[in-house]
Structures are given as C-alpha cells and as structure tokens.
Amino acid sequence: MKLKENLENYVFVLPAVTIFFVFYIIPFIWVFQLGLFEWDGISFTKVFVGLQNFKEIFLQDKNWWQSVRNAGYITLIALTLQNILAFMLAWACDRQIRMKNFYRMIFFIPPVLSEVVVGMVWRFIINDIEGANVINRALVQLGFSNLAHNWLSDLKTALTTVAVVHCWKGFGWGFLIFLAGLQTIPRELYEAARIDGANSWQAFKKITVPLMVPVIVLVAILTVLGTMQVFALITSLVGGEFAGHTSVPVLRIFYSMLRSSRFGYACAQGVTFGMMLIIISFIQYRFSKKDQPR
Amino acid sequence: MFKPFYYKSKKIILNSLIHIFLISVAITCIYPLLWMVVASLKTQDTIFKDISLIPHQFHLENYLLAWKAGGFGGHFLNSVIYTVAVVFAIVIISSLAAYAFSRLRFKGSKLLFMMFMAAMMIPIPGSFVALYMLLNKLHLRDTPIGYILCMVNVGLSVSIFLFKTFFDKMPQELEDAARIDGCSKFGIWWHVALPLAKPVLAVVVVFNALNVWNEYILALIIFDSRRYMPLQVALQAFQGEFVTNYPLLMAGLTITALPIIVVYLLMQKYIVKGVASQEVFG
C-alpha cells in the first residue's frame, strides 16, 4: 500500500522530469563535454582536444571578443537609456493621472512583438530606400541634412541603431516591473515626508530610490541577461554581422556551428559565454545586497 | 488667495508636461506598427513615394497574395499548431509536477524542484548546438514533434514555479473534503487544484503562448523543410526570396504580429500580473 502510493506520487512528476532530463540535462552535459572536442557535426569520430578550444577563444579569437564587446555596448545602452526611460515613465504613471491604463497598454505592445517582426519593420523604416526614411526626412526638414544617411549600412551608426531599436522593444518590460514596484511603496511615507517639509525631489531621493533598489537590480539583471543574448533582432534588422560590426556572441556561436561546422568550438563558446553571464548576474546581485540599507 | 492658485497652476503645468512626455513615447510605440499596416496596403510603386499614413487606395489583395503565394497561410497554421500544442502540454505537465512538489511527499522531491529552479536561473547560450545534435540522434530534427518537445522544455521551469507558488497557498480543507468524498490524487489535481488555479493558469497560458509564437532560433536550426516552418522563420526566408516586394512582406509581418497583439489586448490583466510576479525571481 505504502509503496504503491509512493509510486503514484512519482507519476505526477514523471512527464516533467523526463522532458527536463532529455531536453535540458543531457544537452547541458553535452555542451560541456563537446567543448573539449573538435567535431564537424557529421563524421563519426570526434577528436579530443582538451582545453584547446577554450585556449583559442581566450587567446586568438578576436571576432569572438569583438562580438562580446558589441553585445556589451548594446547592454550598456539598454541599462542606461532604456531603464532610465522605463523608470521615468513608471514614475510618471505612478500617480493620480488620467489615461494611466491606456499608457500602460501602449507601452507594453513592443515587448510582446517578436524580435523578427520588430527588426524587419524597423529595417523597413530606417533603410533609406528612395528617401522614405522618416528620421532622415525630419533631419532634412530641421536643417541637419548632413546627418541624414543610411543608418544601418554605416559602420559608425549600425550598432547604435541596433541598440536603440532594442531599447524601443524592451523598455516596456522595465516599465511594468518598475511600476509594480513603485505601487508597493506605501503612500503614507510620502505623506509623512511632505508634512516634514520635504519637497518631491527629496522624497524621490530618500524614499523612492532606496526602496526601489531590489527592483532596480532585478531589472538590471534581466536587462543584462536578455540583451547579451540578443540574436534574432540582429539577423532581421541588419541581416548578419556586417563585417563584425554588429556581431553578437549568440550569432558567433551560430556561425561556428552552421557556417564553420565546428560544433565543439561552438559549445566551448557557449560555455564561456554562459559563465560570463552567470558571473555578471552574481556580481550585480551581491552589489545590491551590499547597498541595501539595514 | 494667491498661494493655492500658484500650487494649482504648478500642478496643472506639471501634469501637462507629464502627459506630453507619455504621449510622445506612446506615439513612438505605435508609429512603426501603423507604418507596417499602412505599407501592407500599398503597392510596390507607391510604397516609397506616398509616405502619408493614410493610403489612397486599400490594396487588400496583398494579404491574399501573402497568404497564398507567399505561403503565409501554411506557416500561420504551423505557428498556431505549435503554440496550441506546446501550451496545452506545458499546462498539463507543469501543473501535475507543481501539484506533486507542493502537496505530495516523496523522496527527492526537494532536489528535483531545486533542479527545475536552477535551470530557470542558469543560462546556457550554446544549448541549441546540443539540442540540434540530440534531435538528430533521436531522428526528431526537422519534425514538428521535435520542435514541440524542445519548446515544452523551455517553458517548463517557469510554469512549474508559478503553479507551485499558487498551490502552496491553496487551503488544505478543500482537498481534504474532496478526499473524504472519495477523490483520487489525480481527481483532486484535476477537479480541485486546477480549476482553483485559473488565474495562474491564464498567466502560464499567455506567457507560454507569446513565447512559442515569437520563438526564432530553435525553429531556425530545427526545421529545414519549408512546410514545417513557423511564421518567424518563414518571414526571414520570404525576405530572402521576395527581397523587393515590400507590401507583401509588410502584409506577412502584419499577419504575424496581429494575433499576438489581439491576444495581448484581451489578456492584458494576466500579462501585467505575470510581469509583476517576476519580482519573485530576484
């Protein structure tokens, strides 16, 4: 009786555990394992090369590190521009204001769209085919005609354009999380501060920001994890790595696998990149714990 | 006399500034989508000449062309099938597991649950390389079932987490009553726990549906055959072939984006709730 009951309990978790084991654990182990091999994905023999792949990544692969730098650049813009915008919008909506729900509805439309759709629509808007680019038109009208150019095919502006489109797609996430966080701050705190003679800037600095630190850290971690792994936006917006100027790590891994047919190397890159992401999130997390007022 | 007036006008000015700020951001959000829809109604000749947001003629035939000649009809159906299948499987599998983790006692339950949670936190950017090999070995690459199974795994951890958080707070008395009435464990899960979990169920459904509908990289490496491709991958292939036919591409993009926007507008409440509950992840 006891045994049967126990077995019955396992039936509940069996489907989940099976899928998890086959499609998460096994690939997880394989990624680490294959990182030590040289393999083209087809032949029967894999050549064990030890840490050679990692050595190549760290010492020789300039393209890889450029892609990491590129992703870092996009992430930096997302962390500052996107999150400051998101915070300001959330702060503006966290009050008795008309059309609050309308704004919230609109701001979250870009995040529900796929990266492919966003990339292709923006590519169409930005690409200056027969002078249809609205941004360029506006620049010409305002008298900055020398600034108007093809943003995505200029080496200097391509990556920044990608970053800005990424921010357009992503700020709604931060906005919603910030707004949810702001709404948990008790109104009485602001009341008390006002009675004590604090102006709104002081209240913002002394009440809002300290109480929002955990939320800000959460958004920062999610932003870093999401932005560093950007992929589909690049392929749909730029169409490729643009001679390395818009390459990102996931794109490099993808190319190592399907263009150069170096499966082992692709896995080694994946492991390296995964470790980097974990370390960055961990540092951010620790940073927040240290900063918190006791 | 003067002071209240001063404060009132200051407040009005501040509020108007805030509204101007919010509206300008809202316009920036909407404009590209409006542009997409409008462009899908133009012809190749007028699309770049006539840049007004209101087209002079509505070329709805672009949609018919995209649906049939562009093959978007088939890809749309694929996307719908994948989304429905994955979401259905995730709801059943994850709620079963979450119920067990929350209410049933068995050896290793803590450890298994920790594993699912760890998977949620640990990113493996190279996992698609291994999944590609795995599916090859199982002869499931370039098959819908292979893709569906991979996507079920993607949504599993978060869904288990959401369901378990809910089940943990569910009152025990209801279950006891059902048990006394002779309900089996599966009966309790199906007749008591799952119906009570409707709010979480909605969050799980909406988030996974968005995720599957918008997924790109796994579909890209798994499918070689055109006929299995979901919309996101088909769009890229389409752009490669009909590179200059912008109205048709815009029609395809609208076909891809519209369902998700409609679902979002209908299920907004649950999305807001889901995003807010992400705070627990920290």
Residue A128 pLDDT exceeds 80? no
Size of interface A-B (CB pairs under 8 A): 257
B133 touches chain A (CB under 8 A): yes
**What pLDDT shows up at residue B282?**
35
Residue A92 forms part of a structural domain: yes
Query: Closest by alpha carbon to B36, among B26, B46, B47, B45?
Result: B47
Q: Cβ–Cβ of B115/A121 closer than 8 Å?
A: no
Q: Which CATH number goes with the domain that contains B117? A: 1.10.3720.10
Which residue in the block uniquely carries the two structure tokens 């499966």?
A: A263
B148-183 pLDDT per residue, tens: 999 999 999 999 999 999 999 988 888 888 888 888
Residue B270 forms part of a structural domain: yes
Q: Which CATH number goes with the domain that contains A132? A: 1.10.3720.10
Please report the sign of the dihedral spanned by the C-alpha atoms of residue A133, residue A138, residue A141, residue A142.
negative
Q: Cβ–Cβ of A176/B94 closer than 8 Å?
A: no
B97 touches chain A (CB under 8 A): yes
ipTM of this complex: 0.90
Residue B44 pLDDT exceeds 60? yes
Residue A139 forms part of a structural domain: yes
Which range marks the domain in which residue B170 is found? 70-281
Residue A104 forms part of a structural domain: yes
**What pLDDT shows up at residue A154?**
83
SS3 A199: coil
Residue B2 pLDDT exceeds 70? no
Residue B27 pLDDT exceeds 70? yes
Q: Cβ–Cβ of B282/A214 closer than 8 Å?
A: yes
Domain count, chain A: 1
Q: Which of 142-161 (B) contact A at CB < 8 A?
A: 149-150, 152-153, 156-157, 160
Residue B16 forms part of a structural domain: no
Among the ranges given (A110-124, A149-163, B133-147), the one the predictor scored with the smallest mean pLDDT? A149-163
Residue B271 pLDDT exceeds 90? no
Residue A136 forms part of a structural domain: yes
Measure B140 CA to nearest chain A CA, in Å.
12
Report the half-sphere exposure of A93 (CA within 13 A, side-chain side).
29
A24 touches chain B (CB under 8 A): yes
A266 touches chain B (CB under 8 A): yes
Domain count, chain B: 1
Residue B3 forms part of a structural domain: no
Residue B62 forms part of a structural domain: no
Query: Closest by alpha carbon to A162, among A59, A253, A245, A283?
Result: A245
Measure A156 CA to nearest chain B CA, in Å.
24
* pLDDT averaged over every residue in chain A: 89
Which range marks the domain in which residue A178 is found? 62-291
B7 touches chain A (CB under 8 A): no
B183-226 pLDDT per residue, tens: 888 999 999 999 999 989 999 999 999 999 999 999 999 999 99
- Which of A4, A85, A113 is the mutation pick for testing B, counting most B CBs within 10 A? A113
* Angle subtended at Cα A250 by Cα A249 and Cα A252, rounded to the nearest 5 degrees: 65
Residue A55 forms part of a structural domain: no
Residue A106 forms part of a structural domain: yes
Q: Cβ–Cβ of B153/A31 closer than 8 Å?
A: no
Residue A250 pLDDT exceeds 70? yes
Cβ contact B143:B134 at 8 Å = no
- Using CA coordinates, name the residue in chain B closest to A258: B221
* pLDDT averaged over every residue in chain B: 88
Residue A134 forms part of a structural domain: yes
Rounded to 10 degrees, what is the CA torsion of A73, A75, A77, A80? Answer: -140
Distance, in Å, from the CA atom of B201 to the CA atom of B217, rounded to the nearest integer, reads 26
- Which of B12, B37, B129 is the mutation pick for testing A, counting most A CBs within 10 A? B129
B73-131 pLDDT per residue, tens: 999 999 999 999 999 999 999 999 999 999 998 888 999 999 999 988 887 888 899 99
